[in-house]
Every structure is written in C-alpha cells, then in structure tokens.
Chain A
C-alpha cells in the first residue's frame, strides 16, 4: 500500500537503472566476463532480493549498484546520474550522501562503542557532535538497541552487531540501503528479527532496499526477487505487490 503507488498515473523515475551493463575482469585470454549485459530498474520504495549461485555476477552487480565499482560498458544511472562518468571521490560522496551499506561480516570497528560505530558516517558528513549523538541514538532506537550504545562489538551478539551495522547504514537516512547477505552469519530466529527490521524500515521509512541473499526464506520478505545466472538476470518477479 505504500510502494504500490503506480496508480497515480505519473511516470515514476527509477532510482537505480542499469542498462546493458557488462563487467569484465582481466584482459586478453584471461578475461572473465562477470556481467554480460544486465538491465535492471529499481524504483523508490522497492525491497529487492537478489539471488543466485556464487559466481553468477550478483556481487559484481551489487558493487556497481553501490558505486564501489564501475561497469566496463553499459550505463548505470543512479537517480539519473551516470555513475560511470564520476571520479573515485565523486562516487565516495554519492555513497556518503545517498547510500547505506550493510556488510555480510558486519564490518564494525573493533573496540569502538556501538554509538561511535553508528556515528561514523555522520563524521564524514561533517555533522556536529551533538546532532551526531542525537541521530545515532534515534537510529539505535529504530533497530531496537536502546541501552547498548556503550557496548563494543565484542560485547554484543551477532544479531545485535548486525543491528548496529543496520543502524550505521540508516543513520544518514539514505535513499537506498544495500545489504549483502545480512543474515548470512545468523541463526534462523535472529535472521527473522533482522528481516522484520528491514521490512519495517522499507515500509515505515520508505527506504529502498537491495539485499543479496542465498536463502529463499529471506527473499520472501522482499517485494521483488531478482535471480542472477551466468552474468545475466534469469528471472525477475514481484510478489507481495498488494500486501
């Protein structure tokens, strides 16, 4: 009911638009084509699950979508901006202001409190100390970690660490949240908690989510599932359209 708003008639701009994206690693005979012409459009408010066996190109695609990498050929427009034309620093600024990342291995800073971990992206945005604390506490509240701000990652469980990582990704209120196997290291009960958190972020905060997962159960939470195979999208179907 929130994202099924294609009924108002106006043409919606895709937030992420890949057309004919190819990515080749190496050169000559050693060249390896990871993506072989991928077309993908993701609209604001979608929750997309990206699936596929390893080596299918889904990670490469996610790196390009996350502006960490650029296509060898083809076009990737983020909010209408051609990412391939940007410099390394410009892409960093794009990530800083519009993207949130949740990594598979959490990638939290060791021996640094949860609150400071969450504040990290705000530091690079130049947010003042006071509003940094405030925004970080809000993000902690959203992920249900109030009261844990002074614990370091070593003192938190896996599920809690992933919540900190999610709080760090959403504290800047990004347009798109990119999650790489966010439940990969968690048991099923924790996985369900994390997926419910992501679903609520998607539904209540309107954050577009692109999530890589191996588990069909987890993909169930998304509104759309994209399957990769051999560097191409094999299936792409929406579900829960009118949930």
Chain B
C-alpha cells in the first residue's frame, strides 16, 4: 500500500512539474538557508579555533572592562605601564609580559598613504605573540627607554608604501611624527576576525605614548605562560593582583578581564553562534512558510481530484488508505524539496567557503536534521488536506463537477 502511494505521489508530482517545483521552493530555500548558515558558521568557528590555537595555548590577555558575553563589555579605566611591570615582577611562571596600546594612524611615504594600526609595546611583544622579524631588527632596550622614533612594519604596509622595495632605513610619516623603519615583520595573514595581521606598525611603547597617544595608558597586557605552568593558576594570580592594584573592595566586581585562550575562543565563536542562531531562526520561518505553501497546494489538489477520491472510496478504499495517499504525496513533495535544498546548500556552501576563505566543514547532523525536518513539515502540513480527502462523502464526491 505504501509503495503504491509512493508511486502515485511521484506520478502526481511529475504531472505538475512546475506547480510541484514552486510548491517545493519554500522548503528548498528554507532547508538550503539553514544548512548553508550552519555549515559556514561551523567553518568560521573552526577557523577561529584553529587560529587561536596557532597563537600558542599559553597566551592570556588582560584587558580593562568586564566581558559579559559575546560582543558585550563595559569600559573601565585603562592600565598603566606599572600594572604590566607588577605582573611581570610578582606573578611566577610567566614567560613574557607585553603591555600594548594602539591607535589608528595614517602612514605616509611620498605620495603613498595608508591607514593602519600603530601599536606601542615592549620587545616582549614579539615573544608573546610569536612574531618573527623577516628583515632588519627589533628596537633595543635603550631605544625603548629613550622613546626614539623607530618602527617595525608589517608586509601589508611595505606593499602599500614601498611597493617591492626594501623599507629598512627609510623614514615614514606616522600622523605627526617621522619614524625610521628598522624592521619588517614576517607575514602572518588574516586573524580570526578577518583582520590583516600584517597591516600593522610596531613601535616602542614610550614613543607611542609620548608622540602619538599623548597619554600613559595601556589598553592591553598580553601574557604568555611558561610551558608546563597551568594558565588557570596564572589567571587567578593575575586577577588577584589586579584587584589589589585597582583598589577593588571585596564586594565589587572585577573591572578588568583576564582571558585565556579558551575564553577568547568562546567569545569569538560565541559571536558566530549568535549570528548563526539568528539567521537560522529566519531560515526556520521560511521553512514554515514553505509548509503552508504545501498545505495550500494539497488543498487545491484535493478539490481538483474530488471525483477521483470519490471513485476510490466507492470502489472500496478505506479512509486511512486515502489519507495515506495524500499524506505521502505531501511528504514526497516536501522531502524532494528538502533533498534539492540539501544539494543546493552543499554546492553554495562549497562555493562560498572558498570565496570567503574559510574551511568547508561538512556537518552531517544538520543535513540529516534538514531532511527529517522537511519530511516532518510534509506530515504536519499535509495531514489536514489528507484528512479532508479521506473524510469526503463518496456520493457527494462522485457528483462533484
């Protein structure tokens, strides 16, 4: 009986190819949207996780303000250089501590100019973040102390300002100051948030504070823990120290955050998840609309085929057999839509992920869920029209014009 219902349903689908396709369109778009979003979201999350682990698992960041969740945060008083020095002095098990402060500045060389992030930091920065020098050198202790105008530039800056030429020893203009290029960073590519990590200018912290920022603030302290030392312990120690230094009473919440890799990763992928969830909800609505479309067309079909239903009932079809026939038709319709949607989604996901340069992560569960969900929509929205067909009075139905 089920096999027959399936055959009949496929035949009905073939008879009205255009109508069937248009009916399926809602489901196709819905299923495709859900799968594309989840697949791309998964790829983005994977990329975030991979890139964070490439930073080294022993990196921690101390930032002012309390992180409350993805994208949320409150601002608080920035740190001072003394805070970073205190961490370095008083916390054991640390490999390096790099205070940093950044600003957007336009770099100019001759007729070329390029807006970039200038970061003032100490020599530990290169150690903490695993940045290597490709050419030239980093600034010396004495240069850092005296605050001379020297800088190390990333590959992107070199490209924009110097073209293919050697930048070392040349002077570029950063905002109001003239600054000698003493080093070139090895290329690193984009980071987790899609920022170009080579679009960067590094200079001694003191130079930055005096000549560019005009204050003594530190907006970020990056810390790397020695191998074999637990980041959890360092995190607690730093937290305790910073509470003392920031004069927080026991009842006050932290007005700074110490994030280790896990938290940074959670924070970044949390943003992706919120986005994926939101867009997924929109996609689910489109699935619902697709279901209503199926119900609509099934009702039309029942009306059109009233005489056929009457004939079937008269020659001895049971109510449940007629119900099954129409239910199967609705499910075949929605499942076909689901299948097309899945194929479409995988194709588009492959294309988009290579376009956006994120890894393509085939998410089998969501494909299965998409298919099952489309089938379920067929059952839910096909049931009412099918029941209507099954409960027709054969005498009335046979008389129907």
Contact = CB atoms under 8 A, between A and B. Distances in A.
B398 A124 contact: no
Given A107-B307, A107-B398, A96 B315 contact: yes
Which bracket fits the contact residues of A? 20 to 34
A95 B308 contact: no
Nearest to A123: B4
B177 interface: no
Contact of A168 (B308, B315, B317, B395): B315
Contacts of A52: none
A141 to B, nearest CB: 21
B311 A88 contact: no
Contacts of B315: 95-96, 100-101, 120-121, 124, 168
Nearest to B1: A126
Contacts of A107: 307-308, 310-311, 398
A69 interface: yes
A109 interface: yes
A115 to B, nearest CB: 14
Residue from B312, B314, B321, B395 having most chain A Cβ neighbours under 10 A: B314
A93 B398 contact: no
A2 interface: no
Nearest to A117: B311
A66 B316 contact: no
A144 B311 CA distance: 23
Interface in A118-138: 120-121, 123-126
Contact of B395 (A63, A88, A120, A126): A63
Contacts of A97: 316
B320 to A, nearest CB: 8
B394 interface: yes
A162 to B, nearest CB: 14
Contacts of B319: 88-89, 92
A16 B318 CA distance: 23
A103 B398 CA distance: 9
A68 B314 contact: yes
B247 interface: no
A111 interface: yes
Given A107-B398, A111-B15, A92 B310 contact: no
Contacts of B308: 107, 109
A95 B314 contact: yes
A112 to B, nearest CB: 8
Interface in B314-339: 314-319, 321
Contact of B314 (A66, A109, A125): A66
B313 interface: yes
Nearest to B321: A124
Given A109-B308, A111-B15, A92 B313 contact: yes
Contact of A69 (B317, B321, B395): B395
A126 B1 CA distance: 7
A124 B311 contact: no
A89 B318 contact: yes
A99 B310 CA distance: 15
Interface in B157-197: none
A190 to B, nearest CB: 22
Residue from A69, A100, A101 having most chain B Cβ neighbours under 10 A: A101
A233 to B, nearest CB: 21
Given A69-B395, A126-B1, A93 B316 contact: yes
A42 to B, nearest CB: 19
B328 to A, nearest CB: 14
A66 B395 CA distance: 10
Contacts of B316: 92-97, 99, 121, 124-125
Contact of A120 (B312, B318, B394, B398): B312
A109 B325 CA distance: 15
A95 B321 CA distance: 15
Interface string B298-315: 000000000110111111
B318 A92 contact: yes
A68 B395 contact: yes
Residue from B1, B15, B315, B317 having most chain A Cβ neighbours under 10 A: B315
Interface string B386-401: 0000000011001000
Nearest to A178: B314
7 closest cross-chain pairs (CB), A and B = A96-B316, A95-B316, A107-B311, A121-B315, A92-B318, A68-B394, A124-B316
